[in-house]
Amino acid sequence: MPDPGRTRDCVIALDIGGTGMKGALLDRELTPLTSLRRPTPRRDGPDAVVAAITGALRDLAAQAADRDLTVRHAGTVVPGIVDEEAGRAVYSANVGWSNLPLAAMLRDASGLLVTLGHDVRAGGLAECRTGAARGTRDALFVPVGTGISASVLCEGRVVRGLGYAGELGHVVVEPDGDPCACGSRGCLETMASAAAIEAGYMARSGRAVDGAAGVARLVVRGDPVAVAVWDRAVDALAAALATFTTLLAPGLIVIGGGLAEAGGLLLDPLRARLNEQLTFQRRPEVVRAELGDEAGCLGAGILAWQAAGIEPACSELATAGDATSGRGHRQVAEGAP
């Protein structure tokens, strides 16, 4: 007989992106009991972002109370350099904070038990547990959105590097290229992020466009400026992935984030150009992420349940992507996060 107590507790999961934040109350099977979406006020400065995160945590806690649910823990994942063990948001070029004891700040402001994680490592954790990278011991999860980062899975373990690992977006692919918010020039983010694709089209054409998705639609129509900007982004992404592949030889590269919504328009030329750049290296399979923009939030939920001393039953999650990916319900590799 099911334990009735299992249905009365939950965790708060909150994923903070450069553009928006996604939150949910998740049960032990990572089923969303309620959800929250709102913009990230990054243009108003880091203090405004911290206040918005606190407000979202309080609102989700209130929703749990309204449903007579006990919140066991809260998982908040953020972009940039994150030292998970210390609970510190070390640096974020997109949000603008530096060396914040964010976990403690959120605990004090919300009254909740809060564990801090990195948005992309959390997304990679979710894809590894129940998404496109199930059962894979060497993989790279790359969400391409406002910025570009990566979650590195090496021999079944997430590589953290004290929070500095995985900053693929700040690999220089064009020396002396456009300036980057990080202070360098020619970083991958300046060419292949969704923001860079939109800005690149507007700069070349002098016309406004509805984000990277708008550029993608123009590519399909054969707009020559859009095609040039898109090709430049794909070439830059392939160059960065070739470097990573040479160094760590992943068997699988999972592309996520908003740009992955373009599907074959992005993945087909990316696979081709990556293969063109590889010679002796192990050739990774390049696939689309299965969990979409929910990956970071689900990963935050996994972190929250683990911080509460409970392993969530995420292996029970069924995804429609199983049928399309050909992966089925594979056993998670021993030692996977």
| E strands present in the chain | 9-16, 20-26, 32-39, 70-78, 81-83, 88-91, 98-100, 114-118, 139-143, 151-154, 157-158, 252-256, 285-288
Task: Give me the pLDDT at residue 196, please.
Answer: 96
3-state SS assignment for residue 78: strand
What angle separates helix 194-205 from helix 224-248, to the nearest 10 degrees? 150
Which residues of the chain register pLDDT less than 70? 1-7, 314-337
Instruction: Classify residue 293 as exposed, middle or buried by CB count within 10 Å of its CB (0-12, 13-18, 19+).
Output: buried
Task: Give me the pLDDT at residue 33, please.
Answer: 95
Of the candidates 311, 310, 307, 332, which has an alpha carbon nearest to the alpha carbon of residue 114?
307
Q: Which amino acid is at 113?
A: L
3-state SS assignment for residue 11: strand
Task: Give me the pLDDT at residue 101, please.
Answer: 95
User: Which 8-state DSSP code applies to residue 221?
Assistant: T
For residues 276 and 285, give the distance between their C-alpha atoms in angstroms, rounded to a whole number.
14
Task: Give me the pLDDT at residue 314, please.
Answer: 62
Structural domains in the chain, CATH included, are 4-124+293-325 (3.30.420.40), 134-288 (3.30.420.40)
Q: What are phi and psi of 197, to 5 degrees?
A: -65, -45
Task: Give me the pLDDT at residue 69, please.
Answer: 96
Contact criterion met (CB below 8 Å) for 225 and 204? yes
153: which strand partners? 139, 158
The string of DSSP letters for 124-167 reads: HHHHHHHSTTTT-SSEEEEEBSSSB--EEEETTEE--GGGTTT-
For residues 22 and 31, give the distance between their C-alpha atoms in angstroms, rounded to a whole number.
15
Contact criterion met (CB below 8 Å) for 19 and 10? no
The residue whose two tokens read 């994942």 is 77
